[in-house]
């Protein structure tokens, strides 16, 4: 469970993120949408420890990680798939995976799915065909799969994905969304930054909207699907809108977050069939109960 409370962050003393509250339960996908510059990546970086927040709580399973450096946040179970993938151009796929497996967090085998190199290669078979290829020889989709595989090998409980479909062909972006759904089905707690509302609706359990660094909307995907107008109003280029979609926020007036009860929707395992990344649509990390060797095998 990821719990964010009163999170404020920014750069050089200026505040970008204002007092954000957000909960992401295990086994669910929380989408975060917002216009360019709304603060989505800033929120992800503040959670991942890449940006020290000014104040607030970032708790994973009850342990507050706010202000800890990125390597300690990662060791506490937060995996990051950054915007733009950030794979190393000169390292091979095999080297990326071996490196990531060596960074696995302590105690991971006792507290959840145990991702191994063979396990992620089974999940993402395209990578198995590219083990000797360097990062700069991979397509955008292959780089994205590698970034996800790398994050999984650190054994995260919380996975942060910052626009994983950016720059991908529509069918590949859809496969990434399918993978996200399946990872949530395996028990991960997923915070997904998504540019397009329709894509967020396809994959998420809940949708939150950032606008000018404030969380102005948070509700179930079912509620957004039934009435997308409030979210569309905030996302429109016409400017910041009130959460009920009635118009721009007058100067000096604070937007208020609309929240609502969770509506029933299919569980995170109910992703679209036919968009699988391997021949088996389920995700099979090694169960911690059945794992005898905690170390991952190099390919």
Please spell the DSSP secondary structure of the chain, one letter per residue. Answer: -EEEEEEEEEETTEEEEEEEEEEE-TT-EEEEE--TTSSHHHHHHHHHTSS--SEEEEEETTEE-TT--HHHHHHTTEEEE-TT----TTSBHHHHHHHHHHTPPTTGGGSS-B--HHHHHHHSHHHHTTTT-BGGGS-HHHHHHHHHHHHHTT--SEEEEESTTTTS-HHHHHHHHHHHHHHHHTT-EEEEE-S-HHHHHHH-SEEEEEETTEEEEEEEHHHHHH--HHHHHHHSTT--B-TTSSSBPPTTPPP--B--PPPP---TT-PPTT--SSSS-S--PBPTTT----SPPP-
Q: How many residues does the chain have?
A: 299
**Residue closest to 43 by CA, chosen among 197, 200, 160, 151:** 160
Which range of residues in 29-37, 263-271, 277-285, 288-296 is near ligand ATP by CB under 6 A?
29-37
CB-wise, 28 or 41, nearer to ligand ATP?
41
Is residue 38 close enough to count as binding ligand ATP by CB under 6 A?
yes
Residue 37 in the binding site for ligand ATP (CB under 6 A): yes
- Phi, psi dihedral angles at 111 (to 5 degrees): -125, 20
Judged by CB under 6 A, the residue of 39, 113, 164, 271 near ligand ATP is 39
Q: Check residue 53 for interaction with ligand ATP (CB under 6 A).
A: no
Of 36-44, 131-139, 242-250, 267-275, the window that binds ligand ATP (rule: CB under 6 A) is 36-44
Output 202 or 211, the one with its CB closest to ligand ATP.
Answer: 211
Residue number with CB closer to ligand ATP (39 or 299): 39
Residue 195 CB, nearest approach to ligand ATP (Å): 6
- Contact between 13 and ligand ATP (CB under 6 A)? no
Compute the least distance from the CB of residue 72 to ligand ATP, in Å: 21
Q: Which of residues 244-273 bind ligand ATP (CB under 6 A)?
A: none
Q: Is 164 in the site for ligand ATP (CB under 6 A)?
A: no
Distance in Å, CB of 119 to ligand ATP, minimum:
31
Name which position in 41, 92, 114, 144 contacts ligand ATP (CB under 6 A): 41
Residue placing its CB nearer to ligand ATP in the complex, 46 or 76: 46
Taking the complex as a whole, how short is the minimal distance between the CB of residue 111 and ligand ATP, in angstroms? 30
Of 39-47, 134-142, 214-222, 236-244, the segment contacting ligand ATP by CB under 6 A is 39-47
What is 75-136 written as a DSSP string?
A: HTTEEEE-TT----TTSBHHHHHHHHHHTPPTTGGGSS-B--HHHHHHHSHHHHTTTT-BGG
Pick one of 2, 4, 16, 241: the residue that binds ligand ATP (CB under 6 A): 16
40 is a site residue for ligand ATP (CB under 6 A): yes
Q: How far is the CB of 66 from ligand ATP (least distance, A)?
A: 17
For ligand ATP, give the closer residue by CB, 16 or 218.
16
Binding flag, residue 42, ligand ATP (CB under 6 A): yes
Tell me which residues touch ligand ATP (CB under 6 A).
Answer: 11, 16, 34, 36-42
């Amino acid at each position: 469970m990821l719990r964010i409370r009163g999170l404020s962050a920014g750069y050089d003393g200026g505040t970008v993120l204002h007092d954000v509250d957000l909960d992401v339960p295990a086994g669910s996908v929380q989408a975060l949408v917002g216009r360019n510059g709304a603060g989505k990546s800033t929120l992800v970086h503040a959670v991942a420890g890449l940006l020290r927040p000014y104040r607030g709580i970032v708790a994973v399973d009850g342990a507050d990680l706010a202000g800890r450096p990125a390597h300690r946040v990662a060791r506490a179970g937060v995996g990051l798939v950054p915007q733009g993938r950030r794979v190393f151009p000169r390292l091979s796929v095999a080297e990326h995976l071996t490196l990531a497996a060596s960074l696995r967090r302590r105690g991971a085998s006792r507290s959840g799915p145990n991702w191994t190199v063979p396990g992620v290669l089974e999940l993402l078979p395209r990578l198995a065909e590219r083990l000797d290829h360097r990062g700069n020889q991979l397509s955008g989709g292959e780089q994205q799969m590698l970034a996800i595989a790398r994050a999984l090998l650190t054994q995260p409980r919380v996975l942060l994905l910052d626009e994983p479909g950016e720059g991908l062909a529509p069918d590949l972006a859809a496969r990434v969304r399918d993978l996200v759904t399946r990872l949530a089905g395996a028990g991960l707690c997923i915070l997904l930054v998504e540019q397009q509302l329709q894509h967020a609706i396809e994959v998420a359990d809940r949708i939150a909207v950032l606008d000018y660094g404030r969380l102005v909307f948070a509700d179930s995907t079912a509620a957004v699907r039934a009435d997308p107008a409030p979210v569309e109003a905030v996302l429109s280029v016409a400017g910041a809108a009130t959460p009920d979609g009635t118009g721009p926020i007058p100067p000096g007036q604070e937007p208020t977050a609309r929240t609502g009860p969770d509506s029933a929707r299919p569980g995170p395992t109910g992703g679209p069939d036919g968009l699988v990344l391997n021949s088996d649509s389920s995700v099979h990390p090694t169960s911690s109960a059945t794992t005898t060797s905690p170390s991952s095998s190099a390919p």
